[in-house]
């Protein structure tokens, strides 16, 4: 049960002054401190006018709208004060330190990724704040160096503010033509997806610049765990509507093996895997999924049709090697290209019975060759750390922001020179 504000639970030593339910307490970089709110002496401050409407899907209704996490207790306190209207703006970050505002949607997965990104920024010596839409609209008052949004509907800070704004395109839905009017507010993009040609053409026709960086929704580096690889873990749900019946049948067959653990919504697993279903993973920290995967040792990863079409990776493609798992997965372009001989592949174009046999044969090989299986997991873990860790992705993003800033300064200088030349001609 999620504790409510005003009645602090054992994890949160500071009671929260706002009459809002508390969001799941992600830990990660915050393990040494409890939930940060305003101090007790400000508890009489009226609650800010921030909505908590119960709209959307059941999952969206459970994921509360108001959310603030920051890189330090002091910065988090200041953001809460800003949200409460107690201060007009945040002080600027210390010299040499960048402050990044991360606008996180209500989805637990996307918020968890933003916190992972913040954790990586902390390791690089920078400040950050992960916040919900209402708070993100106050970005200019937070004096950040740049702003990253995982929403298409939230507008970026005013271009005259000097804040570099990036939109993280992490789903094909984000770049569907129906979303172009929202995406149009941005000039700079981080792309976890492929296939940007149509969006770039849309920008060209509208006379706007379009700068992009290919990056990944990844995870921080981990230490390798050479524990035995015994059980399959699958985290998610029957996600691809085109194959839902086949997937249900496949998981029913896997459910009878005794070596599977399924995690996800009850609506998916009551029928498809009643004996192997272990419930939904409670999100308390940044590594809950990784801890479960590491204990099991074998990760089954399936992809939706859009991932085959776009050639993009999903978060499970990184969680599995980061968790020291042997990977069993489909032949997506990304996995074949990057983890070729470090993963065990299945052909999901075959009948369900043959798919099951492929998986079962792989598990038998893992059980019969434990040392070779550990070595395979070690190689995939090294590829993840060397090529896809979030620390490396953060460094790419910081360099990209520097390039954008330099380009903007050059353009501004040329514009100023043109204006002076025009004035001198009178």
The predicted-structure confidence for 187-197, as pLDDT tens digits, reads as follows 899 988 777 78
Beta strands in 238-352 (DSSP E): 260-263, 297-301, 326-330, 344-346
Q: Provide the pLDDT for residue 380.
A: 98
Residue that wins the pLDDT comparison between 154 and 397 = 397
Among 27-41, 262-276, 347-361, name the most confident range. Answer: 347-361
Give whole-number Cα distances, 219 to 212, 375, 393, in Å. Answer: 21, 21, 9
The predicted-structure confidence for 112-141, as pLDDT tens digits, reads as follows 788 889 989 998 999 999 998 889 999 999
Count the residues in the chain: 426
Q: Provide the pLDDT for residue 48.
A: 37
Lowest mean pLDDT among 56-60, 64-68, 303-307: 56-60
pLDDT greater than 80 at residue 90? yes
Residue that wins the pLDDT comparison between 426 and 256 = 256
Torsion angles phi and psi, residue 203, rounded to 5? -65, -40
Q: Provide the pLDDT for residue 403.
A: 93
Angle of helix 315-322 relative to helix 370-383, nearest 10 degrees? Answer: 120
Q: Provide the pLDDT for residue 49.
A: 38
Task: Report the share of the chain in percent with pLDDT over 70.
Answer: 75
Position 372 confidence tier, pLDDT thresholds 50, 70, 90:
very high
Domain ranges of the chain: 28-214, 231-388
Q: Provide the pLDDT for residue 369.
A: 97
pLDDT greater than 50 at residue 295? yes
Across the chain, mean pLDDT equals 79
pLDDT greater than 60 at residue 310? yes
Beta-sheet pairing, 326-330 with 344-346: parallel
pLDDT greater than 60 at residue 111? yes
Task: Give me the CATH topology for the region 231-388.
Answer: Rossmann fold (3.40.50)
Position 355 confidence tier, pLDDT thresholds 50, 70, 90:
very high
Mean pLDDT of 62-68: 60
The predicted-structure confidence for 208-230, as pLDDT tens digits, reads as follows 888 999 998 898 899 999 999 99
The C-alpha atoms of residue 269 and residue 163 are separated, in whole angstroms, by 45
pLDDT greater than 70 at residue 377? yes
Mean pLDDT of 177-184: 80
């Amino acid at each position: 049960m999620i504790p409510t504000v005003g009645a602090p639970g054992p994890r949160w030593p500071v009671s929260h002054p706002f009459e809002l339910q508390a969001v799941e307490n992600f830990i990660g970089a915050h393990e040494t401190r409890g939930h940060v709110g305003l101090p007790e002496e400000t508890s009489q401050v009226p609650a800010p006018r921030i909505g908590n409407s119960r709209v959307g899907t059941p999952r969206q209704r459970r994921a509360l709208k108001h959310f603030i996490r920051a890189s330090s207790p002091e910065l988090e306190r200041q953001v809460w004060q800003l949200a409460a209207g107690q201060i007009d703006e945040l002080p600027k970050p210390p010299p040499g330190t960048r402050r990044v505002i991360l606008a996180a949607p209500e989805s637990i997965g996307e918020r968890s990724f933003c916190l992972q990104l913040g954790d990586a920024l902390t390791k690089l010596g920078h400040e950050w704040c992960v916040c919900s839409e209402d708070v993100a609209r106050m970005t200019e008052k937070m004096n950040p160096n740049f702003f990253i949004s995982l929403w298409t509907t939230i507008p970026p800070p005013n271009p005259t503010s000097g804040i570099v704004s990036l939109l993280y395109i992490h789903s094909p839905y984000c770049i569907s033509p129906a979303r172009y009017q929202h995406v149009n507010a941005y000039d700079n993009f981080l792309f976890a997806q492929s296939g940007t040609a149509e969006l770039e053409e849309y920008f060209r026709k509208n006379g706007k610049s379009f700068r992009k960086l290919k990056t990944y929704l990844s995870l921080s580096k981990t230490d390798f765990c050479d524990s035995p690889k015994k059980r399959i873990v699958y985290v998610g749900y029957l996600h691809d509507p085109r194959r839902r019946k086949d997937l249900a049948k496949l998981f029913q067959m896997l459910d009878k093996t005794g070596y599977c653990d399924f995690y996800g919504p009850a609506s998916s697993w009551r029928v498809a895997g009643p004996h192997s279903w272990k419930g939904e993973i409670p999100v308390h920290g940044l590594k809950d999924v990784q801890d479960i995967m590491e204990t099991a040792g074998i990760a089954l990863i399936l992809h939706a049709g859009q991932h085959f079409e776009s050639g993009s990776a999903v978060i499970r493609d990184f969680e599995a090697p980061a968790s020291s798992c042997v990977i069993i997965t489909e032949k997506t372009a990304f996995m074949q290209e990057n983890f070729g001989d470090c993963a065990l592949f299945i052909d999901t174009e075959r009948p369900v019975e043959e798919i099951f046999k492929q998986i079962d044969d792989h598990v038998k090989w893992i059980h019969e060759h434990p040392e070779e299986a550990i070595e395979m997991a070690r190689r995939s873990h090294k590829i993840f750390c060397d090529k896809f860790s979030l620390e490396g992705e953060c460094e790419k993003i910081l360099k990209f922001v520097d390039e954008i800033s330099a380009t903007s300064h050059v353009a501004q200088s040329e514009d100023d020179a043109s204006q002076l030349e025009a004035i001198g001609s009178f």
